[in-house]
A and B are shown apart, each in its own frame.
With several copies, the nearest count.
Chain A
């Protein structure tokens, strides 16, 4: 999207700014829910492989915990690096 276009947003009446903010909220909710679904799918796939029981076994449960924690830490780190690159703060190696 061109910046000149984004500039036009300042000219929108108050009501439209509210509408835009609501849209952003909605996208963030959808994104969190998708992330949640994707995280469950990943940790289930990596940690659960036997189906002799209906309930999670101890070692499966702790695997899922570590998987989820690790992924969240990873995701935060990626977010920081991504933000740096978006701001042009990246340096070469």
Chain B
């Protein structure tokens, strides 16, 4: 998609910017969904304290790890190849 001669044209450059923008938007959205999902799964929502307790903290660590695995697993199913990286 990018030019081969290392001097991208105006349209190519717009596409490079556009791709980089979409990639970053994707990562931000992934992070936001992960954050909200793990908060829902792990954090007591009566808010009796403002600190995270030990149980919540370890739940969060495992939740992030599992979410990551699910991201990779679904990425594989969507055909991004054998390795576990997101499909870009």
Interface residues of A (CB under 8 A from B): 1-2, 4-6, 8-9, 11-12, 16, 18-20, 22-27, 29-49, 51-56, 60-61, 63-75, 77-79, 81-82, 85, 90, 93
Interface of B (DSSP majority class): helix
Residues on B with C-beta less than 8 A from A24 are 24
The binding surface of chain A is classed by DSSP as helix
- Whether the Cβ atoms of B8 and A19 lie closer than 8 Å is no
Return 17 A-B CB contacts under 8 Å, by A number: A6-B20, A22-B11, A26-B15, A26-B19, A33-B25, A37-B33, A40-B33, A41-B37, A48-B41, A51-B42, A56-B69, A61-B73, A72-B78, A74-B35, A75-B35, A77-B52, A78-B38
A74 touches which of B2, B25, B60, B86 (Cβ 8 Å): B60
Q: How far apart sit A25 and B45, CA to CA, in the bound complex (Å)?
A: 33
Our count of residue pairs bridging A and B at CB distance below 8 angstroms stands at 195
- Picked from B13, B18, B41, B43, the residue with its CB within 8 Å of the CB of A12 is B13
Task: List the B side residues contacting A41 at CB < 8 Å.
Answer: 33, 37
Closest to A69 in B: B50
CB-based contact A77/B60 at 8 Å: yes
Asked if B70 contacts A44 (CB within 8 A), the reply is yes
* Chain B residues within an 8 Å CB radius of A63: 47
Tell me the nearest residue of chain B to A53, going by C-beta.
B62
Once the chains bind, are B59 and A22 in contact (CB under 8 Å)? no
Q: Please determine whether A54 and B62 come into contact, CB atoms closer than 8 angstroms.
A: yes
Is B34 a contact partner of A78 (Cβ separation < 8 A)? yes
Q: Which of B20, B35, B42, B58 contacts A20 (CB 8 A)?
A: B20
Q: A35-B32, A36-B78, A71-B39 are in contact. Are A48 and B66 (CB under 8 A)?
A: yes
Q: Are A67 and B47 in contact (CB under 8 A)?
A: yes
